[in-house]
Structure 1
Amino acid sequence: MEARCKVCVTGASGYIASLLINKLLAKGYTVHATLRDLKDESKVGLLKSFPQSQDKLVLFQADIYNSVDFEPAIKGCEFVFHVATPLIHEPASQFKDITEASLAGSESIAMYCKKAGTVKRLIYTGSVVSASPRRVDGIGFNDVMDETCWTPLNDSLAYLYHDAYLKDYIYSKTVTEKYMLSCGNNENGGRLEVVTLLCGAVGGDTLQSFTPGSVAICISHITENAMGRKSLQFVQEFLGKIPLAHVDDVCEAHIFCMESTSSINGRFLCASSYVSLKEIANHYVLHYPEFTVNQEYADGPKKDMKWGSTKLCDKGFVYKYDAKMILDDCVKCTRRMGDL
């Protein structure tokens, strides 16, 4: 199948997408990869440095804010990985915020998948922030965090938002995921299968030339990254604990969902560990005594939240990295970049 199969990956230069493309090329797939700007030599150069890229990689310029660009990249593909997501709003655009832009881009991508007539499965890279186990009234948590949890998009959680960026991101990922799942319903036209993978805080090494933002957040206990520590604190307050996922496991989960020979659709939480701020702090205290661990945000949640998701593993997927391995690889990555 690999030798003749074309796949599309949006947001190709990102932390997850770049490693995913490298893995797909290594397996023999032809990859249509989209970038916002084909004149950006740093991003183009990274992708063209991958083995097999000369014969198996085709680059396309496409932007969520101009979603008609995605049609040529999707044409002829059997599988589409929609990884791209807007993070900073472009105020000069026709959209009022990143939620509107993300939704419009996803609507176009889903439409082009159906129009192509060749796409069997659309895999959307979601985020655990769309699956908060907090109750609809914002007071307290449900008993477990699993795929039945949906973040309440009302004012009950407004007190948790540290700034408008967090609120915009959460709304964007939640609204977009709900739309993507609706595209897999038979009554909405066609046999397109849709999978949403809700990734936890992603750590590990990188193919990029800088420390990814999510890695910097994961090691913020031992750096002066106050914003990173606030982000971790927010995730714990929002989700009960912090779901961790290694970038290698995340990419393998995407490929697993693509290569599944049986029908697969719906949402899947993707994280191998569910830990507290205190557990992360204790790991660094125990294994990295050369660093001073910031204890400011190291208090654990008052409720012992449980991780109730087994859907991905029930399908046969196996995680290779636990919390210790994820955090250790974050330290290695940041040291290699000279940021620690």
Structure 2
Amino acid sequence: MEKNCKVCVTGSTGYIGSYLVKKLLDKGYTVHATLRDLSTLFLTLSAISLLENESKVRLLKGLPHSEGKLLLFEADIYNPIDFEPAIQGCQFVFHVATPLAHEAGSQYKDSSEASLAGIKSIMMACERAGTVRRLIYTASVVSASPFKDHQSGFNDFMDETSWTPLNDSFAYLFLDHYHKDYVYSKTLAEKYILSYRKNENGEGLEVVTLPCGLVGGDTLQSFTPGSVGVLISQVTHNENAFKSLQFLENLLGKIPLVHVDDVCEAHIFCIENDSISGRYLCASSFISSKDIEDYYALHYPEFNVKQGNVDVVKKDIKWTSTKLCDKGFVYKYDTKMILDDSIKCARRVGDI
């Protein structure tokens, strides 16, 4: 792989997106990075908006090797045609951006509809560009619940054949509209991407989806990322974050964990491997919230670790996904390293 090729990263100022941009620049790639608002380069009426945008642009432009190798593009998932200029001339596209909360008053009825519209537009832009070889989608393990479709109970394993059933019998697991919208959005978007087929001449995109576990570790951002906040919620006693941890365990049986560095290396592995397509679950650990609680209580006695998981349904489900490792990928971070780095991250930014 020649490192002077161009790649596009959507959602480049997010937790995973910014980390991925840094690693790509470190490896010599030219990166077309999209973010929602470049108005810091112009005049803005909102001082708060200006400061937020300045921080995001400064984060990217301050990365090592960014000079001459990083191009910024304004693009919003709620106006998906925006992504076309960023995709032009790229050989690979990483679609990391995802709507976490629906924007009221938009042209879409919910975040699932917005996410699907974005996916369709980005895939069409990839085809029109004529240069894009492969599209890699940052999916989520919330799309891979081992819950039995139209039945009660769960399968006893979780792998790439697992799909979250989006039906009424599954609705009892959803705590609120936020969790439901996110699960529906990520599941429908991933299924749509994987339904893509090359034409009869074998021409078209190669598509890869990486449903990632709960992502922990350090960050380039100036605050604790949401997923790290969920992972340390038993230390911080953040009730909303802790509910998300419980929700994930009830949805999947246990909690798949992965370090942000491994996530980004897996994304890059998917462009540097000549033969890869389809769905690959991305997580190095599969543990219970009780395991997380016990680890924090043992190794961080200075914290009053939240005790008890009375709202979690106990299920003995095995993680059997090996597809990514079978391709040759190697995880560098185990459970201990993920949890320790998450605590270090929150301490560094002053949240604990």
TM-score normalised by the chain length of structure 1 = 0.97
Report Cα offsets for 1:60-105 as digits up to 9, x if no partner: 0001111111111001000000000011111111100000000001
1:272 aligned onto 2:284: yes
Aligned counterpart in structure 2 of residue 314 of structure 1, from 311, 326, 338 = 326
Residue 195 of structure 1 aligns with which residue? Answer: 208
Which amino acid is 1:144 matched to? F
Question: Which position in structure 2 is the counterpart of 1:227?
Answer: 240
Distance 2:77 2:311 in 1: 39
The 3-state SS of whatever aligns with 1:198 is strand
In the alignment of these two chains, the number of paired residues is 339
Deviates more, 1:134-143 or 1:95-104: 134-143
Partner of 2:194: 181
Percent of aligned positions that are identical: 69
1:54 pairs, out of 45, 64, 67, with: 67
Of 63, 70, 74, 2:87 maps to: 74
Separation in 2 of the partners of 1:186 and 1:327?
A: 45
1:28 paired with 2:28, answer yes
**Counterpart contact for 1:5–1:77, Cα < 8 Å:** yes
Q: Does 1:283 align with 2:286?
A: no
Inter-CA distance 105–144: structure 2 relative to 1 (3 Å threshold): same
TM-score (norm 2): 0.94
The unaligned stretches of length 5 or more in structure 1 are none
- The answer for the alignment partner of 1:117 in structure 2 is 130
1:296 pairs with 2:308? yes
- Counterpart of 1:333, as a letter, is C
Task: Compute the displacement of 1:187 (Å).
Answer: 5.8
Provide the C-alpha distance between the structure 1 equivalents of 2:312 and 2:78, rounded to a whole number of angstroms.
Answer: 40
Give the direction of change, closer, same or farther, for the CA distance of 1:188–1:181 in structure 2 (3 Å limit). farther
The residue identity in structure 1 corresponding to 2:208 is V
**Which of 295-304 and 229-238 deviates more?**
295-304
Q: How much does 1:303 deviate?
A: 2.6
Aligned to 2:43: none
Q: Once the two structures are superposed, what CA deviation does each residue of 1:115-164 show, in whole Å capped at 9, x if it has no partner?
A: 11110100000000001001113521112000000100111111111101
Residue 277 to residue 26, structure 1, CA distance change in 2 (3 Å) = same
Which has the larger displacement, 100-109 or 181-190? Answer: 181-190
Please give the alpha-carbon distance, in whole angstroms, between the structure 2 residues aligned to 1:26 and 1:298.
Answer: 45
The offset of 1:185, in angstroms, is 4.6
Deviations 1:172-225 (A, max 9, x none): 000000111122454698331000000000000000011001001101111120
Query: CA separation in 1, counterparts of 2:218 and 2:305?
Result: 21
Amino acid at match of 2:332: K
2: CA distance between counterparts of 1:30 and 1:301?
Answer: 46
Aligned-residue CA RMSD in angstroms?
1.4
In the alignment, the residues of structure 2 paired with residue 2 and residue 90 of structure 1 have an alpha-carbon distance, to the nearest angstrom, of: 40
Cα distance in 2 for residues equivalent to 1:82 and 1:199: 13
CA distance in 2, matches of 1:149, 1:86: 23
Letter in 2 for 1:23: K
Match of 2:18 in 1: 18
Question: 2 CA distance for matches of 1:188 and 1:243?
Answer: 39
Q: For the residues of structure 2 that align with 1:99 and 1:187, how far apart are their CA atoms? A: 30
Instruction: Output the amino acid matched with 2:135.
Output: L
Stretches of structure 2 lacking an aligned partner (at least 5 in a row):
40-52
CA contact (8 A) 2:248 2:254 kept: yes
Change (3 A) 1:150 1:3: closer
Q: Could you tell me whether the CA contact under 8 Å between 1:184 and 1:265 is conserved in 2?
A: no
| 2:23 counterpart letter in structure 1 | K
Q: Could you tell me whether the CA contact under 8 Å between 1:8 and 1:31 is conserved in 2?
A: yes
Q: Distance in 1 between matches of 2:295 and 2:75?
A: 41
Q: Which residue of 2 aligns with 1:92?
A: 105
